[in-house]
Amino acid sequence: MAPDSESDRSSPDIFIPDEWSNTADAIANCSVDSPIAFVCGPKNSGKTTFSRHLLNVLLQRHKKVAYLDTDVGQTEFTPPGLLSLTIVDKITPDLTIPCLKTPERCFFFGDISSKRDPVIYLSYISALYDHYLKEYCTDNKTKFQGTTTSLPLVINTPGWVKGIGYELLVGMLKHMSPTHVVKIRISSESKNLPRGAFWSNEVNNDSVCVIEINAARQDHLKRSVLVQKDARLLRDMRLMSYFRQCLPSDMTISTLKELTRELCALHPYEVKISNVEIKHLHSQVPVSEIFGSLNATIVGLAVSSVSEKWPQCVGLGIVRAVNGPSKGVIYVLTPVPQKVLEDVDLLLMGSIQTPTALLLAPGCVSPYMSANVVPYI
């Protein structure tokens, strides 16, 4: 099939079947001003690839499109462990290259699977969706004045479609009001989501258009050909690209060793422990172990607020060293701009693993990532 848009031409390995491009076009050209598309389906069926294609198609008609990323282990525009709403204003020509963007709003979930805390997971996603509704979904008044600020929304979801994963999808759909639900199906029928509006008890659910499409690639027996991703490697790569931003963009870094060495050579931020609250999200740590437990970990940098229920995450940091007893400080590396950091009053600790490559800096003692810091004992 001939590529049908510039974005497809730029992604030689990506195959957009007619069914996919027709679906994306139908959503972009539907009668609703700003469609809300919920993309779901089993693991590796192509949800992310389709979502990115849809995003590009929508960006041909709209200046900006909102993207709600609910796949906390395989995040699209942020490092893993975050749930985010991002406003995208540029077509990404190559659908195979992940890129980091600063989200409009973001929560630190602190794990790569929703099963760690399904209740909080759903609360965060609902809060992100509500934020979209409040800020980016036109109400009648603004529509009437012709100053429409409404943006389409693409919601990408995890591939966990059984058990609690299924319940969470149902929970999301019940909270949201998508105009379109795109279900990607694979040939192994038992792995698919139920047909139709599976989340709703209404017999005729006319308010939403449910579209079922097949995974892009099939063999000659019409079996879906699914590409398995190395999820852990992808997460590590995403984290390393994130922390690469701590260094000047014009600095040449060709290898992981160089990246680690340069990160170790950076001056970290010195954070006074008395100025921040340290919170372990998924475990209880005795007070005496708190400093030790922070060392060489990835933390969410968050800002608490009296008006908001959940602290907003402004980015991640690596705790490079801790000097608890004598100075009461921790040393943090982060690409978050200093101006934004000034508001951070919460360090959230989850279970996002620091990539091993970053712990093995030449000349430094693992896991402290520094040659000159006495580790906390």
Angstrom distance (rounded) from CA 114 to CA 337: 29
Angstrom distance (rounded) from CA 100 to CA 117: 25
Residues 140-159 that bind ligand ATP (CB under 6 A): 159
Q: Is residue 78 a contact residue for ligand ATP (CB under 6 A)?
A: no
Binding mask 259-298 for ligand ATP (x = CB under 6 A): ----------------------------------------
Among positions 8, 69, 71, 236, the unique one binding ligand ATP when judged by CB under 6 A: 71
Q: What is the DSSP letter of 2?
A: -
Q: Is residue 70 a contact residue for ligand ATP (CB under 6 A)?
A: no
137 or 213: CB nearest ligand ATP: 213
Query: Looking at the DSSP assignment, which residues form a beta bridge with residue 313?
Result: 302
Residues 295-314 that bind ligand ATP (CB under 6 A): none
**Rg (Cα) of the chain, in Å, rounded?**
22
Closest contact distance (angstroms) between CB of 35 and ligand ATP is 20
Q: What is the DSSP letter of 268?
A: P
Q: Is residue 76 a contact residue for ligand ATP (CB under 6 A)?
A: no
DSSP of 43-65, one letter per residue?
TTSSHHHHHHHHHHHHHTT-S-E
Q: Is residue 315 a contact residue for ligand ATP (CB under 6 A)?
A: no
Q: Is residue 75 a contact residue for ligand ATP (CB under 6 A)?
A: no
Residues 177-216 that bind ligand ATP (CB under 6 A): 216
Q: Is residue 9 a contact residue for ligand ATP (CB under 6 A)?
A: no
Q: Is residue 114 a contact residue for ligand ATP (CB under 6 A)?
A: no
Closest contact distance (angstroms) between CB of 286 and ligand ATP is 36
Closest contact distance (angstroms) between CB of 345 and ligand ATP is 33
Among positions 21, 34, 48, 86, the unique one binding ligand ATP when judged by CB under 6 A: 48
Among positions 23, 37, 38, 46, the unique one binding ligand ATP when judged by CB under 6 A: 46
Angstrom distance (rounded) from CA 55 to CA 71: 16
Residues 220-249 that bind ligand ATP (CB under 6 A): 227, 229
Total binding residues toward ligand ATP, as defined by CB under 6 A: 18
13 or 219: CB nearest ligand ATP: 13
Q: Is residue 14 a contact residue for ligand ATP (CB under 6 A)?
A: yes
Closest contact distance (angstroms) between CB of 304 and ligand ATP is 31
47 or 62: CB nearest ligand ATP: 47
Left, alpha or beta for 368 (phi > 0: left; psi -120 to 50: alpha)?
alpha
Left, alpha or beta for 62 (phi > 0: left; psi -120 to 50: alpha)?
beta
212 or 345: CB nearest ligand ATP: 212
Contact 345, 275 (CB under 8 A): yes
Among positions 4, 15, 87, 279, the unique one binding ligand ATP when judged by CB under 6 A: 15
Among positions 43, 64, 131, 279, the unique one binding ligand ATP when judged by CB under 6 A: 43
Closest contact distance (angstroms) between CB of 1 and ligand ATP is 11
The alpha-helical segments, DSSP class H, found in the chain are: 6-9, 18-28, 47-59, 118-136, 140-144, 163-175, 231-244, 256-265, 290-294, 324-327, 338-341, 356-359
Q: What is the DSSP letter of 218?
A: B
41 or 317: CB nearest ligand ATP: 41
Question: How many C-beta neighbours within 10 Å does residue 21 have?
Answer: 18
Left, alpha or beta for 86 (phi > 0: left; psi -120 to 50: alpha)?
beta
Closest contact distance (angstroms) between CB of 2 and ligand ATP is 15
21 or 295: CB nearest ligand ATP: 21
Angstrom distance (rounded) from CA 314 to CA 344: 8
DSSP helix, strand, coil percent of the chain (3-state; round to 5): 30, 20, 50
End-to-end CA distance of the chain: 63
The alpha-helical segments, DSSP class H, found in 176-289 are: 231-244, 256-265
Q: Which residue is nearest to ligand ATP (CB)?
A: 159
Q: What is the contact surface with ligand ATP in residues (CB under 6 A)?
A: 13-16, 43-49, 71, 74, 96, 159, 216, 227, 229
